[in-house]
Amino acid sequence: SAADYQSKVNPSQKLFIDNEFVDSVSGNKFPTINPATGGVIAEVSEGDKADVDKAVAAAKRAFHRDSPWRTMNPSARGRLMNKLADLMEREIDQLASIETLDNGKTFESSKGDIGASCSVLRYYAGWCDKIHGQTIPADNGFFSMTRKEPVGVVGQIIPWNYPIMMTAWKWGPALAAGCTIVLKPAEQTPLSVLALAALVKEAGFPPGVINIVPGYGPTAGAAIAEHMDVNKVAFTGSTEIGHLIMQAAGKSNLKRVSLELGGKSPIVVYDDANIKKAADIAYHALFDNHGQSCCAGSRTFVHAKVYDKFVQEAKLLVANRKVGDPFDKNTDQGPQIDQDMFDKVMGLIDSGKNDGAKLVIGGSRAGNVGFFIQPTIFANVEDNMRIAKEEIFGPVQSIIKFNNEEELIERANKTSYGLAAAIITQDIDRALNFAKSVEAGSVWINGYDLITAHTPFGGYKMSGIGRELGEEGLHEYLETKTISIRTPSV
Active site (catalytic) residues: 260, 294
Q: How far is the CB of 160 from ligand ADP (least distance, A)?
A: 6
Q: Interface residues for ligand ADP in 241-260 (CB under 6 A)?
A: 241, 244-245
Q: How many helices, marked H, and strands, marked E, lie in the chain? A: 17, 21
Closest CA to 101 of 24, 168, 42: 42
Pick from 36, 186, 197, 199: which binds ligand ADP (CB under 6 A)?
186
Identify which range of 51-59, 239-247, 407-415, 435-443 contacts ligand ADP by CB under 6 A.
239-247
Residue 221 DSSP one-character state: I
Amino acid identity for residue 92 in this structure: I
> Do the Cβ atoms of 168 and 121 come closer than 8 Å?
yes
Is 159 a binder of ligand ADP (CB under 6 A)?
yes
Residue nearer to ligand ADP on the CB measure, 122 or 170: 170
Q: Would you count residue 184 as binding ligand ADP (CB under 6 A)?
A: yes
How many angstroms from the chain centroid is the CA of residue 192?
15
Closest residue to ligand ADP: CB criterion? 217
Query: Which range of residues in 151-159, 282-290, 356-364, 396-404 is near ligand ADP by CB under 6 A?
Result: 151-159
Shortest Cβ distance from residue 2 to ligand ADP (Å)?
Answer: 23
Rounded least distance, CB 216 to ligand ADP, Å: 6
The separation between the first and the last C-alpha atoms of the chain, rounded to the nearest angstrom, is 77
Taking the complex as a whole, the smallest distance from the CB of residue 297 to ligand ADP amounts, in Å, to 18
- Give, as ranges, the residues between 198 and 237 that touch ligand ADP (CB under 6 A): 216-218, 221-222, 225, 237
Does residue 187 bind ligand ADP (CB under 6 A)? yes
Touching ligand ADP, residues 266-305 (CB under 6 A):
none
As measured in angstroms, the least distance from the Cβ of 403 to ligand ADP is: 35
Kindly list the distances between the CA atom of residue 80 and the CA atoms of 124, 149, 199, 453, in Å, as whole numbers in the listed order.
Answer: 11, 19, 11, 18
Q: Is the dihedral of CA 244, 248, 250, 251 positive or negative?
A: positive
Would you call 68 helix, strand, or coil by DSSP?
Answer: helix
> Using CB under 6 A, which of the segments 111-119, 240-248, 305-313, 346-354 binds ligand ADP?
240-248
Minimum CB separation from ligand ADP for residue 189, in Å? Answer: 9
Q: Which of 437, 439, 450 is nearest to 406 (CA)?
A: 437
Site stretch for ligand ADP (CB under 6 A), options 179-187, 308-316, 441-449, 457-465: 179-187
Nearer to ligand ADP by Cβ, of 278 and 392: the residue is: 392
Task: Single out the residue of 172, 184, 180, 84 nearest to residue 120, CA to CA.
Answer: 172
Instruction: Closer to ligand ADP by CB, 156 or 331: give it.
Output: 156
Among 157, 423, 474, 478, binds ligand ADP (CB under 6 A): 157
Burial pattern 261-282, b for ≥16 Cβ within 10 A else e, equals: bbbbbbbbbbeebebeebbebb
Q: Does 441 bind ligand ADP (CB under 6 A)?
A: no
Whole-number Å distance between alpha carbons of 86 and 104 = 25
CB of 359 vs ligand ADP, minimal distance in Å: 25
Number of residues that bind ligand ADP (CB under 6 A): 17
Q: For the window 421-440, what string marks contact with ligand ADP as x by the rule CB under 6 A?
A: --------------------
- In order of 133, 137, 140, 174, the CA distances from 143 in angstroms are 14, 7, 9, 30
In the complex with ligand ADP, the residue whose CB is nearer, 286 or 392, is 392
SS3 content of the chain, % helix, strand, coil (to 5): 45, 20, 35
Distance CA 4, CA 195 (A): 17
- Within 10 angstroms of residue 469's Cβ, the number of other Cβ atoms is 21
Query: What is the contact surface with ligand ADP in residues (CB under 6 A)?
Result: 157-159, 184, 186-187, 216-218, 221-222, 225, 237-238, 241, 244-245
